[in-house]
Amino acid sequence: MAEGIKGMATAEGSARRRRTEERRRRILDAARARADAEGWAAVTTRHLAVSIGYTQPVLYGHFPGGKSEIMRAVALEGFTELAQVCRAAVGENVGCRAVEAVAVAYLDFAAAHPALYEAMFQSPLDARFAQQDAESELREGFAALADAIGDDGDGTVTEVLWGALHGLSLLERAGRLRTDHRDERIAELAARFCR
């Protein structure tokens, strides 16, 4: 009898965790969709609650910090996605080809996901960049760039590459760079970072 009760409690706990994760996922997906469509200024807890059919207290139950906590969660997911995209692009490439592949992947990611990229890099984000205790999502994103250039030092070279890619992505998005010279810029960047 006791084992049956224990099994029911375990099943109820699993079902509760699954429902919690599903609600959390719906909130994040709704926030990201709204930001993609209208920008982060249009994302409000009131709108999110209405769009997913929950009350604001339910939303705050999952994200006590409200919109800023939601944006942070979206941004951390973005770092995971960016790392995966960069690693997939590099594949078996090494040297300049690896740097070119990671640069194209990074710039394409930033262009394809402007609202996500904004959450990741342009919005206040309580995350610990460039520190040993940084979130795993941030460390993985940084490692994807470091691996592409073979940075086995203290990470400074990777920070410079990251800064260059970030600057290029913002300038591309603002239309400040000649679109027909992108390949040349990437080749020039790769020449400076390949080992």
In degrees, rounded to 5, the angle at the alpha carbon of residue 83 between the alpha carbons of residues 81 and 85 is 70
CATH code: domain 67-195 is: 1.10.357.10
Give pLDDT, residue 2. 62
Band (pLDDT 50/70/90 cuts) for residue 93 is very high
Write out pLDDT tens, residues 142-190. 999 999 999 988 999 999 999 999 999 999 999 999 999 999 999 999 9
| Percent of all residues in the chain with a pLDDT value above 70, rounded to a whole number | 93
Domain boundaries in the chain?
1-64, 67-195
Q: With a threshold of 0.85, does the pTM exceed it? A: yes
Does pLDDT of 84 surpass 70? Answer: yes
